[in-house]
Amino acid sequence: MPGEAHTRWERQGAEFAGALLDPDAALPGCLTSSSGSNDPRRYAVYRNNVTVSLVRAMQSNFPSIVRLLGDEFFTAMAQVYITAHPPRSRLMFEFGSEFPAFLQSFEPVRPYPYLPDVARIEQAWREAFHEADAPLLDAGALIGIAAENLAGLRFATHPATRLVRSKWAAGSIFVANRTGASTDGINAAAGEWVLITRPQFDCQVRILDNASGLFIHKLITGSTLDDAVQAALASETPFDLAENISGLIACGAFTDIKEENQ
């Protein structure tokens, strides 16, 4: 009740909640037990429930980071994160949105500069997993388009499509750790574009070179096909238009096309 003096329950609730994520905070004074004492081991059950459930949510939301750093280190780090950035959303699959930025500044993981981008890919993957369903662009959609209209064509992006650019090999590192494969032989310093799509219910992850990355980046931000092709051709890597277009349609990146003059 804004403006009013705090009620007893507002004061008690603030005290109870305030000590949950702070192990050094004093026990809420409003509690007791059947033995007549305010027993710290009893309140500790709530502290433990909150911490354990949120750490579990972080483990579930960032499995590749867990594998990269090991369970013990991840759990300790997640506890620091939880205290600094407790959830705002009641949906646990949305928990951890500030984790990439947290990793950027968390001193102990400084030797692993690709971690924030791997966490960004985890976020993008999870967003894609829960995004709205939508019909996919038909594989034959381009067949009937007149040649003179191709350059001005625009694509409607599927709601689950996500693109992450990393100056590290974050996509390859993500895939290896999600599939239990070795990261030996991955050059961490080789930059990647990572495309995540969800043609039906399973997310697909594609690692793209710079030309293909720029091409899809242009298309999903509303550029015409011609502008996207020009951006791809201007990059240093070779570019095959037919292969890129059919690949993007096949993986469910789009829902529709729109001709310039429509």
Partner 1 sequence: MLHVSKTHEGSHPVQRPAHLLRPRAGAGFKPEHLQAIVDQVPTAAFFEVHAENYMGKGGAPHAQLARLRQSYPLSVHGVGMSIGAPGLLDQLHLQQLKAVVKRYEPSLVSEHLAWSTHEETYLNDLLPVPYTREVLDHVCEHIEEVQSVLNRTILLENPSTYVLFDQCDMSETDFIREIARRTGCGLLLDVNNVFVSATNHGSSPVTYLDDFPLHKVREIHLAGHATDADSFGNPLLIDAHDRPVADDVWALYRYVVSMTGALPTLIEWDNDVPEWPVLVSEMANANAILNQLDAQPLLGRRHAG
The contact set with partner 1 (CB under 8 A) reads: 7-10, 12-14, 16-18, 20-21, 30-35, 37-43, 45-46, 49-50, 53-54, 57, 86-93, 128-133, 159-160, 198, 201-202
- Supply the minimum distance, in Å, between the C-beta of residue 4 and partner 1: 11
How far the first Cα of the chain sits from its last, in Å, is 54
- Supply the minimum distance, in Å, between the C-beta of residue 255 and partner 1: 13
- Decide whether 70 or 86 has the Cβ nearer to partner 1: 86
- Supply the minimum distance, in Å, between the C-beta of residue 204 and partner 1: 13
- Supply the minimum distance, in Å, between the C-beta of residue 217 and partner 1: 24
Go through the chain and tell me how many residues it has.
262
What phi, psi does 260 have (nearest 5°)? Answer: -50, -45
Secondary structure class of 7 (helix, strand, coil)? coil
Q: Cβ distance 43 to 31 under 8 Å?
A: yes
- Please provide the DSSP assignment of 97-162 as one string: TTHHHHHHH-GGGTT-TTHHHHHHHHHHHHHHHHSPP-PPPPTTTTTTS-GGGSTT-EEEEPTT-E
Q: Cβ distance 195 to 251 under 8 Å?
A: yes
Task: Give the residue from 246, 262, 211 showing the smallest Cα distance to 137.
Answer: 246
Task: Give the residue from 164, 156, 154 showing the smallest Cα distance to 117.
Answer: 164
- Decide whether 160 or 164 has the Cβ nearer to partner 1: 160
- Decide whether 38 or 237 has the Cβ nearer to partner 1: 38
- Supply the minimum distance, in Å, between the C-beta of residue 167 and partner 1: 30
- Decide whether 8 or 143 has the Cβ nearer to partner 1: 8
What is the Cα–Cα distance from 183 to 205, expressed in whole angstroms? 16
DSSP tag of 36: S
- Decide whether 92 or 241 has the Cβ nearer to partner 1: 92
- Supply the minimum distance, in Å, between the C-beta of residue 35 and partner 1: 5
- Decide whether 43 or 73 has the Cβ nearer to partner 1: 43
